[in-house]
């Protein structure tokens, strides 16, 4: 027990921040920023501040399954500590395989202790997909399969948060042909409040905002039909993109490094999936608001959408290829050109054949005689 | 030219031989109106849609604020999207209240034995197994069935179109109406469907216009002008190999020309030029 991260959930966040040397001013700036990320009116800032000052930090159990630890990385990246990173650091993380000091059955004990002590109050964050094929043997931790651990841990949780696309929808482990039968948490859990925070990785800003929301309002934020919080996934990247004026103007990058690319024009023709992707990257950005993929000159790859690898897999093409039964892959336009070509060929054949028939078997033109007879 | 309708200006009549002849009001105004609104919409939607899919025109590298080309293209696409929707609603309504040739029943010829017969005859005609197309006043049976497919494609196209439109306004009207589809079919496949259906409709339009000219020529029934004026012509001399006396059975199936004509004249008393009883 004592080997793990220091944990004192009864200590309030504000006090923890102060002890880490965060000024009141920085704290209020942080609360304002969170109000913005949560898309709340500015009058909520004091309320958030008050809640953070008094609320008790929720204990968190962070489960890693089929993943690359990219979300843990996103969560831990601290080139220069900011308030939001401190907020996350001092979350009562009771179990996090990537960072916890405990190992072996000590670690598993921590998890079980938290589940007992904070029954119905702890939050479970899941990172990575859950393999179901062959009784789930493709991800086994401490002798238990991922699916068993997840079900056991989530049973008494206040809420389950999926960090990243893999735990939300299966992500890359679930990409075709999906040999391990990987699925997202939503496919195996019900009866537990579930919030999806997809992304590859999820944006830590949004996770912070989600937790702030939870601490302030004691409830989970409104979600869309995919279970994603609306504040972070409520509009498309394309609709808030800084290159959007170039899209509307019809000014597109045609080739990497061409003049249009150097001028920062729209990346639509380079396969940008901004129009397909609901996320707030363009507003919140990454690395402390430094930049984001489209800002850096590469199209969005749609990493936070369901089935992203299979349907957005042509990273540099707008539409997925159609798999024909014969095995050839074609684009929508090739397929369409084929359809129209077939129709044209059919028409041409029929027209020629009609011409030949007209020669061989002419219709008698008695009709003209009728016309002549008419008054 | 021999292909000209010969009985222009004369009313429909039953000739001495009992064969119907003359000019019959087939396509009512809503049918013709929606036909041309649809045709125009599809042309406009295809041009603008293709540009949306592949913006092939290079815009001059001037200041961005002075251009809104993609914006106008998308605006036009969405505008005609709404026009197309309105036209489909009107045509669907008319399929229930319009005359027998406008009825939705014409789209499913299989339900009656006559329909099946006519369907077979049409197929034979197109595959050169039959010299003359079957005589019908409304759609021929094969065309009727083709239109059933086309109308389905229309609805798919409108649905996928408005679903894509809904994406830019989450929680808005169209998103609420159509958003559920994205949990069933991934958004990218919805786009592919929207894209491929465009090509299917273009392929249909090509064969449709070809066949309109073909049947017009073979049958001398004024088919092409019919979709403008509403009138079709029966030229008995063109059908001397066809058995026009086949017994009329079904009430609705465009089975036999005499029966169709009887209904036509009976249901068109308001047309001053139609033969009054
Ligand atoms: C030169 C252009 C065109 C001509 C001469 C033409 C002619 C006609 C004629 C004569 C009919 C009714 C006769 C029948 O049952 O076969 C018809 C029906 C129809 N046409 Fe066209 N058409 C043209 C363009 C188009 C285009 C571009 C489209 C759409 C892609 C289209 C879609 C349809 C449909 C869906 C019907 C069934 C109408 C209904 O029952 O409401 N047409 N057309
Ligand atoms: C015959 C009718 C139509 C045709 C041929 C057509 C064609 C197309 C094509 C080819 C695209 C590009 C697809 C892609 O590559 O991603 C497109 C996009 C789109 N269409 Fe249509 N469309 C039709 C009807 C409609 C309707 C009725 C609507 C409803 C308003 C609509 C709304 C849209 C939207 C919202 C997009 C996406 C635009 C964007 O992402 O900027 N379409 N259409
Ligand atoms: S770069 Fe991508 S997201 Fe931005 S406007 Fe262009 S297509 Fe949309």
One-character DSSP codes across B150-201: HHHHHHHHHHHHHHHHHHTSTTSHHHHHHTTHHHHS-HHHHHHHHHHHHHHH
Distance A336 CA to ligand 2 centre (A): 15
Residues 6+ apart with CB under 8 A from A285: A291, A292, A295
Q: CA triplet A356, A359, A360: central angle to 5 degrees? A: 85
Where is average pLDDT lowest: A180-184, A299-303, A366-370, B99-103? A366-370
Fold of A237-362: Cytochrome-c3 Hydrogenase; Chain A, domain 2 (4.10.480)
- Total domain count for chain B? 1
Taking the C-alpha atoms of residue B157 and residue B154, their distance in angstroms, rounded to an integer, is 5
What is chain B's mean pLDDT, rounded? Answer: 77
Give the distance (Å) from ligand 2 centre to CA of residue B52: 8
Q: Do B191 and A347 touch (CB under 8 A)?
A: no
Question: From CA B149, how far away is CA B155, in angstroms rounded?
Answer: 10
Distance from CA of A118 to the nearest CA of B (A): 35
CATH of the domain at B76: 1.20.950.20
A357 contacts on B by Cβ (under 8 Å): 128
Q: In a mutagenesis test of the B interface, which of A363, A365, A368, A369 is the best target, namely the one with the most B β-carbons within 10 Å?
A: A363
Q: Residue B119: what pLDDT?
A: 80
Radius of gyration of chain B (CA): 22
Instruction: Tell if the CB–CB gap between A268 and B55 is shorter than 8 Å.
Output: yes
Q: What is the pLDDT of residue B16?
A: 42
Q: Does residue B181 or residue A87 have the better pLDDT?
A: B181
Q: What does the pLDDT read at residue B65?
A: 82
Residue B61 located in a structural domain: no
Identify whether B43 is part of a domain: yes
Nearest-CB residue to A306 (from B59, B168, B186): B186
Cβ–Cβ < 8 Å for A278, A305: yes
Higher confidence at residue A370 or residue B23?
B23
- Checking if the pLDDT of B242 tops 60, the result is no
**Cβ distance of A248 and B68 shorter than 8 Å:** yes
Task: Among A234, A248, A346, select the one facing B207 at the smallest CB separation.
Answer: A346
Nearest to A339 by CA among B49, B211, B191, B199: B199
Nearest CA distance, B64 vs chain A (angstrom): 6
Helix/strand/coil (H, E, C) string of A336-370?
HHHHHHHHHHHHHHHHHHHHHHHHHCCCCCHHHHH
Structure tokens at B60: 């001059």
Min Cα separation B252/chain A (Å): 30
Average pLDDT over residues A222-241: 92
Given pLDDT bands bounded at 50, 70 and 90, which one contains residue A22?
confident
CB of residue B81 inside a 6 A radius of ligand 2: yes
**What is the reported pLDDT for B125?**
80
* A-B C-beta contacts closer than 8 Å: 140
The answer to whether A344 contacts B195, with C-beta atoms less than 8 Å apart, is: no
Over residues A77-135, the pLDDT tens digits come to 644 445 556 566 556 777 888 777 788 888 888 899 889 999 998 999 999 999 999 99
pLDDT of B239: 52
- Alpha carbon of A206 to ligand 2 centroid (Å): 33
- Residue A2 clears pLDDT 60, i.e. is over it: no
Contacts of B128 in chain A (CB under 8 A): 353, 357
Query: Which range of residues forms the domain containing residue B44?
Result: 6-56+67-263
pLDDT at residue A138, rounded to an integer: 95
Burial class (CB in 10 A: 0-12, 13-18, 19+), B63: exposed
Answer with the residue of higher pLDDT: A184 or A142.
Answer: A184
User: Is pLDDT at B277 greater than 70 in this prediction?
Assistant: no
Cα-based angle A269, A271, A274 (whole degrees, multiple of 5): 105
ipTM surpasses cut 0.90: no
| A216 Cα distance to chain centroid | 24
Decide if A219 contacts A290 (C-beta within 8 A). no
Picking from A148, A140, A157, A139, the residue whose alpha carbon sits closest to that of residue A188 is: A148
Which range is least confidently modeled, A85-99, A355-369, B117-131? A355-369
Each residue's pLDDT tens digit, B192-238: 999 999 999 999 999 999 988 888 887 777 788 888 888 877 766 55
Taking alpha carbons only, the member of A66, A279, A73 closest to residue A172 is A66
Binding site membership of B223 for ligand 1 (Cβ less than 6 Å):
yes
Task: Find out whether B30 and A212 touch, Cβ atoms under 8 Å.
Answer: no
Q: Residue B263's pLDDT band (boundaries 50, 70, 90)?
A: very low
B87 Cβ closer than 6 Å to some ligand 1 atom: no
Question: Which of residues A199 and A142 earns the better pLDDT score?
Answer: A199
Q: Give the model's confidence band at B106: pLDDT under 50 very low, under 70 low, under 90 confident, else very high.
A: confident
Closest approach atom of ligand 2 to CA B78: 30
- What's the pLDDT at B217? 80
What is this structure's pTM?
A: 0.83
Which positions in chain B touch A176 (Cβ < 8 Å)? none
Task: Give pLDDT, residue A78.
Answer: 45
Helix (H) or strand (E) holding B233: strand B231-234
pLDDT class of B28 with cuts at 50, 70, 90: confident
Residues of B in contact with A263 (CB under 8 A): 61
Please name every residue paired with A286 in a beta bridge, in sequence order, or none if there are none. A291
B50 within domain boundaries: yes
Mean pLDDT across the stretch A186-210? 90
State percent of chain A over pLDDT 90: 42
Question: Where exactly does CATH 3.40.50.700 map onto chain A?
Answer: 13-233
A336 with B196: Cβ contact below 8 A: yes
**For all residues of chain A together, what is the average pLDDT?**
84
- Ligand 3 binding pocket (C-beta < 6 A) is A 237-238, 241, 243-244, 247, 266-268, 272, 274-275, 294, 299-300
Confidence of residue A258 (pLDDT cuts 50, 70, 90): very high
What DSSP string describes A169-213?
H-TGGGSTT-TT-EE-GGGT--SS-EEEE-STT--HHHHHHHHHH
Ligand 2 centroid to B80 CA: how many Å?
Answer: 10
Per-residue confidence (pLDDT) for residue B18, from 0 to 100 = 44
The answer to whether domain A13-233 has CATH 3.40.50.700 is yes
In A, minimum Cα distance to B71 occurs at: A248
Average pLDDT over residues B241-254: 40
Q: How many Cβ atoms are within 10 Å of B3's Cβ, its own excluded?
A: 18
Question: Given a cut of 60, is residue B13 above it in pLDDT?
Answer: no
The answer to whether A250 contacts B59, with C-beta atoms less than 8 Å apart, is yes
* Contact present, B193 and B156 (Cβ < 8 Å): yes
Give me the residues of B, 144-173, that contact A with CB < 8 A.
167-168, 170-171
Could you tell me which of B55, B38, B49 has the C-alpha nearest to residue B76? B49
In a domain, B274, yes or no: no
- Is B146 part of a structural domain of the chain? yes
Highest average pLDDT, of B128-132, B136-140, B181-185, comes from: B181-185
**Within chain A, which residue ranges are assigned CATH 4.10.480.10?**
237-362
Q: CA-to-CA distance for B174 and B160, rounded, in angstroms? A: 11
Predicted confidence (pLDDT) at residue B10 exceeds the cutoff of 50:
no
Does the beta-carbon distance from A343 to B204 stay under 8 Å? yes
> What are the C-alpha distances in Å from A324 to residues A20, A331, A334, B146, B198?
60, 10, 12, 24, 19
Ligand nearest to the CA of B92: 1
Strand partners, A12: A56
Segment A132-160 shows an average pLDDT of 93
Residue B252 inside a domain? The answer is yes
Report the residue of chain B nearest A226, measured CA to CA.
Answer: B183
| pLDDT band at B248; cut points 50, 70, 90 | very low
Question: Residue A92: beta bridge partners?
Answer: A59
What share of chain A has pLDDT > 70, as a percent? 88
Category of A328 on φ-ψ map: left (φ > 0), alpha (ψ -120 to 50) or beta = beta
Greater pLDDT, A11 or A65:
A65
Disruptive mutation site among A343, A355, A370 for chain B (greatest number of B CBs within 10 Å): A343
Q: Minimum mean pLDDT among A210-214, B34-38, B61-65: which range?
A: B61-65
Taking the centre of ligand 2 as the mean of its atom positions, its distance from the CA of residue B154, in whole angstroms, is 12
* pLDDT for residue B3 is more than 50: no
Q: Which of A11-20, A46-55, A345-354, B99-108 has the lowest mean pLDDT?
A: A11-20
8 Å CB contact between B121 and B135: no
pLDDT of residue A363: 62
Nearest CA in chain A to B9: A374
Q: Select the more confidently predicted residue: A302 or B62.
A: A302
């Amino acid at each position: 027990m004592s080997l793990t991260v220091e944990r004192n959930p009864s200590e309030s966040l504000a006090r923890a921040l102060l002890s880490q040397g965060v000024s009141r001013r920085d704290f209020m700036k942080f609360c304002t920023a969170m109000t913005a990320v949560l898309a709340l009116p500015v009058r909520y800032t004091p309320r958030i501040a008050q809640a953070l000052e008094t609320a008790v930090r929720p204990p968190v159990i962070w489960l890693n399954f089929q993943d690359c630890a990219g979300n843990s990385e996103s969560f831990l990246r601290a080139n220069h500590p900011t308030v939001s990173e401190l907020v996350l650091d001092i979350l009562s993380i009771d179990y996090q395989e990537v960072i916890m000091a405990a190992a072996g059955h000590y670690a598993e004990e921590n998890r079980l202790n938290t589940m007992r002590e904070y029954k119905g109050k702890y939050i479970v964050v899941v990172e990575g997909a859950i393999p179901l094929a062959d009784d789930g043997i493709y991800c086994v931790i401490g002798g238990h399969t991922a699916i068993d651990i997840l079900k056991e841990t989530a049973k008494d949780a206040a809420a389950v948060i999926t960090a990243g696309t893999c735990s939300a929808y299966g992500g890359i482990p679930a990409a075709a042909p999906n040999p391990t039968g990987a699925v997202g948490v939503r496919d195996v859990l019900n009866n537990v409040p579930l919030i999806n925070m997809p992304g590859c990785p999820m944006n830590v800003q949004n996770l912070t905002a989600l937790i702030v929301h939870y601490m302030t309002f004691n409830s989970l934020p409104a979600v869309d039909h995919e279970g994603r919080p609306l504040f972070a996934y409520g509009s498309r990247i394309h609709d808030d993109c800084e290159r959007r004026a170039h899209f509307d103007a019809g000014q597109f990058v045609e080739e990497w490094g061409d003049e249009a690319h150097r001028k920062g024009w729209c990346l639509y023709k380079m396969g940008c999936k901004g129009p397909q992707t609901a996320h707030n990257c363009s507003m919140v950005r990454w690395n402390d608001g430094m930049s984001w993929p489209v800002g850096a000159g590469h199209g969005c790859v749609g990493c936070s959408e369901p089935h992203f690898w299979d349907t957005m897999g042509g990273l540099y093409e707008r539409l997925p290829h159609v798999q024909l039964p014969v095995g050839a892959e074609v684009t929508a336009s090739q397929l369409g050109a084929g359809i129209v070509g077939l129709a044209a060929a059919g028409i041409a054949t029929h027209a020629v054949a009609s011409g030949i028939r007209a020669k061989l078997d002419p219709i008698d033109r008695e009709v003209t005689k009728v016309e002549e007879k008419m008054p | 030219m021999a292909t000209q309708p010969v009985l222009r200006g004369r009313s429909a009549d039953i000739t001495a031989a009992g064969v119907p002849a003359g000019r019959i009001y087939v396509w009512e105004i809503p049918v013709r109106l929606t036909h041309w609104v649809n045709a125009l919409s599809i042309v406009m939607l295809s041009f603008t849609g293709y540009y949306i899919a592949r913006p092939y025109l290079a815009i001059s590298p001037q200041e961005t604020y002075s251009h809104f080309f993609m914006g106008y293209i998308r605006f036009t696409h969405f505008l005609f999207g709404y026009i197309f929707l309105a036209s489909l609603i009107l045509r669907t309504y008319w399929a229930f209240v319009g005359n027998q040739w406008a009825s939705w029943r014409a789209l499913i010829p299989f339900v009656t034995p006559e329909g099946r017969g006519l369907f077979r005859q049409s197929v034979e005609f197109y595959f050169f197994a039959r010299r003359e197309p079957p005589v019908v006043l409304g759609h021929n049976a094969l065309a009727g069935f083709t239109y059933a497919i086309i109308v389905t494609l229309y609805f798919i196209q409108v649905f996928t179109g408005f679903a894509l439109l809904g994406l830019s306004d989450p929680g808005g009207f169209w998103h609420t109406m159509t958003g559920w589809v994205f949990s069933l079919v991934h958004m990218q496949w919805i786009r592919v469907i929207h894209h491929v259906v465009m090509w299917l409709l273009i392929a249909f339009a090509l064969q449709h216009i070809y066949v309109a000219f073909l049947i017009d020529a073979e049958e001398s029934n004024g088919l092409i002008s019919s979709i403008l004026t509403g009138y079709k012509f029966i030229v008995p001399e063109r059908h001397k190999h066809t058995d026009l006396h086949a017994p009329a059975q079904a009430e609705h199936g465009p089975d036999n020309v005499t029966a169709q004509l009887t209904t036509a004249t009976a249901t068109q008393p308001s047309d001053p030029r139609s033969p009054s009883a």
